């Protein structure tokens, strides 16, 4: 004798795409209640001796599948967390590297700024001395010209 084929739980799922959100929630809750009731009844029959452990093997496999799915999901989440931690560590390392590079760049720019300030200061002094020398030269030429004019007169 072949086992009875029942579509009690899967039949309503065929209409799932056409159901509203509220109807989907009611359907899933109803299926969950039926599954729970079935597990309770099977456990009661096992306790009474009507069913053996061998008869309950498919239910035990369902439980293992559910628990395995939970373990696989947990492992997947743990791998994600591990990847996020590695990424965070890599970003922390990159941040430190960028800060070091930026600090070095600031120090170099301060050094260059100091050199240019020094050069500009020397240039300013040179321009000042040149102006002074030019004025001195003009006065001297002016004095020489006036002395030469005086001599001619």
CA distance 109 to 115: 10
Residue 35 counted as domain residue:
yes
The model carries a pTM of 0.41
Q: Are 102 and 94 in contact (CB under 8 A)?
A: no
Residue 47 counted as domain residue:
yes
Residue 29 counted as domain residue:
yes
Distances (CA, A) of 33 to 22, 54, 90: 17, 24, 48
Residue 42 counted as domain residue:
yes
State the pLDDT confidence band at 149, using cuts at 50, 70 and 90.
Answer: low
Percent of the chain with pLDDT over 70: 86
Residue 146 counted as domain residue:
no
Report the pLDDT value the prediction gives residue 1, as an integer from 0 to 100. Answer: 45
Residue 107 counted as domain residue:
no
Distances (CA, A) of 11 to 7, 27, 59: 5, 11, 20
Go through the chain and tell me how many residues it has.
153
Residue 34 counted as domain residue:
yes
Domain interval for residue 22: 9-55
Report the pLDDT value the prediction gives residue 70, as an integer from 0 to 100. Answer: 75
pLDDT value at 56 more than 80: yes
Number of compact structural domains in the chain: 1
Residue 111 counted as domain residue:
no
């Amino acid at each position: 004798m072949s086992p009875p084929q029942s579509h009690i739980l899967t039949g309503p799922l065929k209409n799932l795409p056409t159901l509203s959100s509220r109807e989907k929630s009611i359907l899933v809750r109803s299926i969950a209640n039926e599954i729970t009731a079935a597990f309770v009844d099977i456990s009661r029959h096992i306790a009474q001796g009507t069913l053996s452990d061998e008869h309950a093997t498919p239910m035990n496999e369902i439980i293992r599948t559910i628990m395995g799915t939970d373990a696989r999901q947990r492992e997947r989440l743990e791998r994600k967390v591990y990847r996020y931690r590695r990424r965070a560590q890599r970003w922390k390392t990159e941040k430190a590297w960028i800060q070091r590079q930026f600090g070095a760049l600031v120090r170099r720019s301060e050094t260059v700024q100091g050199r240019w300030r020094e050069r500009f200061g020397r240039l300013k002094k040179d321009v000042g001395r040149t102006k002074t020398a030019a004025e001195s030269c003009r006065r001297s030429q002016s004095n020489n010209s006036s002395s030469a004019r005086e001599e001619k007169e």
